[in-house]
Amino acid sequence: MRLERELACQEVVELVTAYLEDSLSPEDRERFEEHLVFCDGCQNYLAQMRDTIAATGRVPPGALPAGLEERLLEAFRGWRAS
């Protein structure tokens, strides 16, 4: 079955975290992976994200100083809105 709509590069960028955390629906995962087959730029972006995660690891809960987590979340929300 062919999906109704292909993902654009911007959508792949917005979904990459959910993809890496395996939290996309099967349909969205298929659309995501289909896009990667034809888009070298998004393949490279995904590889860079994987490398970044491997290099930096994960921040354990409670490891950030008080207020920093909220400031970071606000910064990302502002970036995403622009």
Give a yes or no: residue 4 inside a domain.
no
Mean model confidence pLDDT for the chain: 85
Written as six digits, the tokens of 62 are 């409670």
Give a yes or no: residue 1 inside a domain.
no
- Check: CB of residue 27 under 8 Å from CB of residue 2: no
Domain that holds residue 73: 9-81
Query: What's the CA gap between 55 and 43, in Å, rounded?
Result: 18
Give a yes or no: residue 55 inside a domain.
yes
Q: What is the pLDDT of residue 3?
A: 44
* Total count of domains within the chain: 1
Give a yes or no: residue 28 inside a domain.
yes
Give a yes or no: residue 2 inside a domain.
no
CATH code: domain of residue 65 = 1.10.10
| Residue 54: exposure state from Cβ atoms within 10 A (0-12, 13-18, ≥19) | exposed
Give a yes or no: residue 3 inside a domain.
no
Q: What is the pLDDT of residues 38-68, one digit of tens each?
A: 999 999 999 999 998 887 777 777 888 888 8
Give a yes or no: residue 37 inside a domain.
yes
